[in-house]
Structure 1
């Protein structure tokens, strides 16, 4: 499993972003995840997400989100994330959705958290990506703790970070495709509760 570096595009320009948006919106489901610079100090608030990952069946698109983002680039992300007909599948997405809303005021729709959706009846614990890959593909998913806790806010990510981030989104889509191909259906989606916007004064 896993993408090659040539299958991953770091979105650097608005033209690239618009082209990626059109490809993503033309499909039925995409893999979705975010990465944030880890916080190590008690009480420290995350400034993430610093990276947003989308994956089709064959390619991943990575958007870096610094301390600021241009309005046109935000609109591209909004078009993808708020499209209700486009399923965004991933693992453990509750925090990702909340952070996106807090940082970019984007209310993601069509989000399928496979950690919850793929739980067997009576199972209390969420299903992680590693467990899902072992269950559905009989393979061991290699996820490096060392890479997961690197600084995702760096202006230039290294190849290992890029592949790790892309694979997180791609694996979720592969698990979803396998689950549906086996004749299964997803349970009804529950929207993540987000704070209401403040009333205008």
Structure 2
């Protein structure tokens, strides 16, 4: 693992036009993040934390500033040009339930990004990789054909983490990943994220109000 920065954010800003005028959601954010490290973005609700995370991944376009990932300036890349990079830059959302399709089973939800990005070919190989991901995040195989609404919040969040890991990412933006969970389950998910970082060398941006 090198000490060269994996991510450099230089003077990043995001403004929204509203009826009351221009809203400065993010204004002049700069930081450097090394591979295998964790950066916390902490602040009260509405201060622009989640907007910052979405701008970094270019889920929304920044108004100004630079995003340099792995030494490459990705600020101006189109949606199509970003597609191969999406595999390396993933997000785990605050509310696991709203980010999961309720019509799909756990197996379908975790295998979806593998199939979508053609990471593995062959039904058996995809199924094997999906079960491996389930084990990695602590989901028993008996949940493979279960739907999200049949699971508690902690297990649903494990699905979200498994979906992110399916892409073999370099960096994961964790957007309030435990704030919707019970306190006892929060600790389990945080411990899982710490262990995954240790085992896989992941880099995290951790967005939280706590």
Superposed pair shares fold, TM > 0.5: no
Counting strand residues as a fraction of each chain, which structure ranks higher? 2
Output the TM-score relative to the length of structure 2. 0.24
